[in-house]
A and B are shown apart, each in its own frame.
Chain A
Amino acid sequence: MMNPPLSHYLLLSALLFSIGFAGAVARRGAILVLIGIELMLNAANLNFIAFWRFGANPQALTGVMFVLFSIAIAAAEVAVGLALVIAIYRQRKTTRLDAMDSLKG
């Protein structure tokens, strides 16, 4: 079984990131935007793992540590984000982001 090279991982992560970014930018629903952001975060996590695995010192668990923290932070962020979405929904009966422009200048 052959190990794919680093570039494959990076390409996969770039693909993931682009899909996430496209979703975050293009979708109108707040929850889907949050999902897009999660994808982008996971692309970054994949990069961390890949660079760690192909890096100078794969014995030290530095990449895994980073990713664990990153996932924890992502979970917290989603909790906050969902709470915001629910709060906004209760108030305005919608989760469409283009309807929420009351902070415009």
Chain B
Amino acid sequence: MPHLILFLWLVPSLPLLAAGWGALLKRQRRRLAAGLAIGAMALSWLLSCAAFFSTLRVRILRQSCNFTWFDLAHTTVQLGWMLDPLTAIMLMMVTFLALVIFIYSLGYMARDQNFTRFFCFMSLFGAGMLGLVIANSLLLLFICWELVGLSSYLLIGFWYEKPAAAAAAKKAFITTRIGDIALLLGMLWLYSRSGTLLFYNHGQGCLEQASLDRLVAGATMGGMALSTAISLLIFAGAVGKSGQVPLHVWLPDAMEGPTPVSALIHAATMVAAGVFLVARMYPLISAGPHPAALQVVTWVGAVTAVFAAAIAMAQNDIKRIIAYSTISQLGYMMMGLGVGGVAVGMFHLITHAFFKSLLFLGAGSVIHGCHGEQDIRKMGGLKQLMPWTFATYAAGMMALCGVPLFFSGFWSKDAILGAARDWPFSSAPFYLGVAGAFLTAFYMTRQVCWVFFGKPAEAQGAQAPAHESPAVMTIPLAILAVFAVLAGFLGTPAWPWFDSYLNGANARFTFAALFARPQLLLLLLSTLVVGIAFALGWRVYSRVAWQSPREADPLEKSLPPLFWLLQNKFFIDELYAATVIRLNTAFSLCADWLDRVVWAGAVRAVSGLTRALAQINRALDESGINAGFDLGCQGLRDTGSILSWMQNGRIQRYLRVLGLAICLGLLALIWGSA
């Protein structure tokens, strides 16, 4: 279907329409609101499927459709959308997950008063994310990026009557804004140097060879290539959105939102937007002989992967653990992009999207079943009470940890580690990645152990026994579990379909590649790491899980300072409070003082002067002008009263006067002529 590209704009527009319509609905129209959101997303999904299959059959690597937004004197601002394998696979993933999660929300949000508003915001998010994916212009991408940020803010603060939720929404918005400013600067800089923000435009786009050559040749301060500087600014935007160190602080707090939101936005799609941005801008970031920006991407990713995984070990909130795990996995994706290119990072993005949304929805199901309890220390024994949730959660957990061969996370993480091992600059990212994998398996074991095994929840102090969630929630879980397992087979070393799909080649099945010596060693290594972590985790935590009431965390007992440090998230929030926020407060106080004293003084002086002038004016008016005017009026009144004597209304007197006048006139005539 060659004309499909012309209709691709419908993919984000349908959810946008649903959001607009949903915003106008009354609160009681719950069915219609949900129907609109789900219907629009289903249509978008069908269109995305069509787009995806067209990229499979027609091997044109990239199609785009550009149009002029507006003209300014000599510049033309163009927007456009595009279809390439990267877009197609993201479209498939986003629409499919959004659809599944919308359906799940029917159950999870069933008793919420603001059900209608929820679906309106979710559709708005879908529109923004899909627009971001198909954008062929950094400007359009940025617009959708902000739209996504806005809907994220609205949804984190969905239960705004909770102060924590309102604060988390603000924190998320402001923290990502820091990255966005850098992105905006990078965008403006790119525009000033390349003259266009279109990615691909028949050789004139900013990601095409001619423009890249110019950017690489241009130098800026300290001998840094222009392309590197712009890439770093754009990457800063991705750092904010994807929760990389040091702007990761908002993501765990974002878990104050409803769980489907956490699953869709803060695990599977929106936070992946940063990774997608880096993948989209990859030609620019990797341009030149020494792509320094790419090394920054790698290091930030690697550090984040381990950093967040370490924090996750000491958290007790079921959603926060997965949130830190998300940060850590996003770090892996960035590292994958840095060391191995688009295909490696994006593959992990896709597999992660499935198993992480599965984990979040599973966690939501657990919370739903435990009547709002989120503390894993107070759960237990859910394996018997919630068998469906347990089975699917276990699949997601094993995919996240990278259990060998049958779970998707294994293959995608393996690809990243393989690329990191061959990275020419340093081997540290590889070791950081392996350490992160170990920590991931360890904390996930801890979580599953405490939530699903051990004595049931009542023994841990819960109010009512847990129950399994309704089918509208478990069926999406089952669907996601299937994908969490199967998605991995799209990119095994034996059949690297994903890699060749993105690069426009045909994948070949070579079973032997699996047994090539370096590959085999890597597979064995990750298997070993996961196995040891599982065994260790089980040994440490299973004993506590069966206790009632539970003792303190074994890690806390053996290594109190370390646990304390991890539980408090390395005190990053406190560090920011002590530095950035205090600086900001001081600055605000200073501005406040300026405002109150200096500017207000100036304003007061001006107003005083005006008032004085007005007083003088008034005195002049009252004594001078008014007096003269009053005098004139009095004269008129007097004259009038004299003249009114003549106008007495007696016609006969008029007649007499007339007669007298004629007589006098006659006499004058007679004497005059004589």
In the complex, the chain B residue whose C-beta lies closest to that of A24 is B655
CB distance from B660 to the nearest CB of A (A): 10
Interface size class of A (residues with CB under 8 A): 10 to 19
B644 in complex: contacting residue of A24, A102, A105, CB < 8 Å: A105
* Residue A33 CB within 8 A of the other chain: yes
Bound complex: CA of A62 vs CA of B649, how far in Å?
Answer: 39
B residues in contact with A21, CB < 8 Å: 659
In the complex, per-residue mask of B650-665: 1 if CB is within 8 Å of any chain A CB, else 0? 1110011001000000
A12 in the interface, Cβ–Cβ < 8 Å? no
Residues in chain A near residue B646, CB distance under 8 A: 105
Shortest C-beta distance, A102 to chain B (Å), equals 6
**Residue A25 CB within 8 A of the other chain:** yes
The reply to whether A104 and B655 form a contact with Cβ atoms under 8 Å apart is no
B643 near A: Cβ within 8 Å?
A: yes
Contact of B579 with A by CB under 8 A: no
* Nearest chain B CB to A94 CB, angstrom units: 15
Contacts of A33 in B (CB 8 A): 652
* Contact (A105, B650) CB under 8 Å given A21-B659, A24-B655, A25-B659: no
Q: Once the chains are docked, how many angstroms separate the CA of A25 from the CA of B648?
A: 15
Contact flag A97-B648 (CB < 8 Å), given A21-B659, A25-B659, A105-B643: no
Pick the contact of B652 from A97, A102, A103, A105 — CB < 8 Å? A97
Contact with B along A67-105 (1 / 0, CB 8 A): 000000000000000000000000000000110111111
Contact present for A104 and B647 (CB under 8 Å): yes
- Residues on A with C-beta less than 8 A from B643 are 105
Instruction: Give the CA-CA distance A103 to B650 in the complex, in Å.
Output: 8
- Does the CB pair A100–B649 fall under 8 Å? yes
Chain B min CB distance to A103 (Å): 4
Q: How many residues of B are in contact with the other chain, CB < 8 A?
A: 14
* Contacts known (A24-B652, A33-B652, A97-B652); A103 close to B647, Cβ less than 8 A: yes
Residues of B within 8 A of A104 (CB): 644, 647-650
Given A24-B652, A25-B652, A105-B659 contact (CB < 8 Å) = no
- Report the Cα distance A103→B648, complex, angstroms: 7
Q: Is B67 an interface residue (CB 8 A)?
A: no
**Nearest CB to that of A104 among chain B residues?**
B649
Which residues does chain A contribute within 8 Å of B656, judged by CB atoms? 25
Which A residues lie within 8 Å of B647 (CB)? 103-105
Would you call B649 and A25 a contact (CB within 8 A)? no
What separation, in Å, do the CA atoms of A13 and B650 have in the docked complex?
A: 27
Residues of the A chain whose Cβ atoms lie less than 8 Å from the Cβ of B655: 24-25
Query: Nearest residue in B to A30 (C-beta to C-beta)?
Result: B651
Contacts of A101 in B (CB 8 A): 648-650
Residue B645 at the chain A interface, CB threshold 8 Å: yes
Of B640, B648, B649, B656, chain A has the most CB atoms within 10 Å of the CB of: B649
Shortest CB–CB separation between residue A99 and chain B, in angstroms? 10
* A98-B659 in contact (CB<8A): no
Docked CA distance A103–B659 (Å): 21
Query: Using Cβ atoms and an 8 Å threshold, which residues of chain A touch B640?
Result: 105
- Which residue, B646, B648, B651, has most C-beta atoms of chain A within 10 A? B651
Cα distance A24–B644 in the bound complex, in angstroms: 23
CB–CB B651/A97 < 8 A: yes
Task: Name the residue on A nearest B640 (C-beta).
Answer: A105
Nearest chain B residue, comparing its CB with the CB of A101: B649
Chain A minimum-CB-distance residue to B647: A105
CB < 8 Å neighbour of B648 from A24, A26, A105: A105
Mark contacts of A20-37 with chain B using CB atoms, 8 A cut-off: 1 yes-contact digit, 0 otherwise: 010011100000010000
Closest chain B residue, CB of each to CB of A36: B655
CB-CB under 8 A from A102, the residues of chain B are 649
Q: Which of B645, B646, B655 lies at the interface centre, i.e. has the most chain A CB atoms within 10 A of its CB?
A: B655
A11 to chain B, nearest CB (A): 16
What's the least CB distance linking A3 to chain B, in Å?
A: 28
Give every chain B residue within 8 A of A97 (Cβ-Cβ): 650-652
Question: Using an 8 Å CB-CB cutoff, how does the interface string of B622-637 with A read, 1 for contact, 0 for none?
Answer: 0000000000000000
- Chain B residue with the shortest CB-CB distance to A27: B652
Report the separation of the CA atoms of residues A67 and B576 in the bound assembly, to the nearest whole angstrom: 116
**Complex Cα gap A105–B650 (Å):** 11
In whole angstroms, what is the CA distance A24 to B662 when docked? 15
- Measured in the bound complex, the distance between the Cα atoms of B649 and A102 in whole Å is 6
Q: Which residues of A contact B659 (CB under 8 A)?
A: 21, 25
How far is it, in angstroms, between the C-alpha of A91 and the C-alpha of B648 when the chains are bound?
21
The 7 listed contacts between A and B (C-beta, < 8 Å) are A25-B655, A25-B656, A97-B651, A100-B649, A101-B648, A104-B649, A105-B644
Additional 6 contacts, C-beta under 8 A, given A25-B655, A98-B650, A105-B645? A26-B652, A97-B652, A100-B649, A101-B650, A103-B647, A104-B649
Binding site for B on A (CB under 8 A): 21, 24-26, 33, 97-98, 100-105
Show the binding face of B for A, using Cβ within 8 Å.
640, 643-652, 655-656, 659
* Nearest 5 CB-CB pairings of A with B: A105-B644, A105-B647, A101-B649, A104-B649, A103-B649
